[in-house]
Amino acid sequence: MIKNRITLILQPQLRSLQSLEELSFHDSLGVLNGDNINGVADVYQDERIIQIATSVLRSIGTTVTVPDGGTILVAGFVEAEDHQGVSALPFIEAIPVARQLLRGWARNDGRRSYIVLVSAQIVPDLFEE
């Protein structure tokens, strides 16, 4: 029987980019001038546009009981890449036979896995009597 257990309350969150929203700000600035009767000689107007990413947040919650020294897998995802390319000189590309001989092909396939592991250990209290 396992005496010491640790209860972890986990809430993994995944945020994905949906689109970019544009916000525009209009500024106006009056510059004081002593020559003008009204006191304002020039009015400068400026427009600034910034982009803000809108995203969706997904989350789930769970409770896990882990024995002392145990490890759990919290989250993970896989990233896959596939790149293909052709390189050739522009003037040789027009010659049919030379095009096949002097063309370079490249293909790159990649796959990476990311995981988050949590190890739980009970640490004794040094000040406990």
Query: What tens digit of pLDDT does each residue of 53-105 get?
Result: 666 777 777 777 888 888 888 777 777 888 888 887 777 777 888 777 777 88
| pTM for this entry | 0.36
Whole-angstrom Cα distance, residue 19 to residue 55?
A: 7
CA 39 to CA 33: how far, in whole Å? 5
**Which residue ranges make up each domain of the chain?**
5-23+47-119
The pLDDT of residue 73:
83
- pLDDT band of residue 44 (cuts 50, 70, 90) is low
Distance CA 15, CA 59 (A): 9
Between CA 63 and CA 72, with CA 67 as vertex, the angle to 5 degrees is: 55
- Mean pLDDT (the chain) is 71
Half-sphere exposure of 107 (CA within 13 A, CB side): 1
Six-digit token string for 25: 């700000």
Strand partners, 80: 111
CA distances from 85 to 75, 96, 97, 108 (A): 34, 19, 20, 9
User: With pLDDT > 90 as the criterion, what percentage of the chain qualifies?
Assistant: 0
Residue-level length of the chain: 129
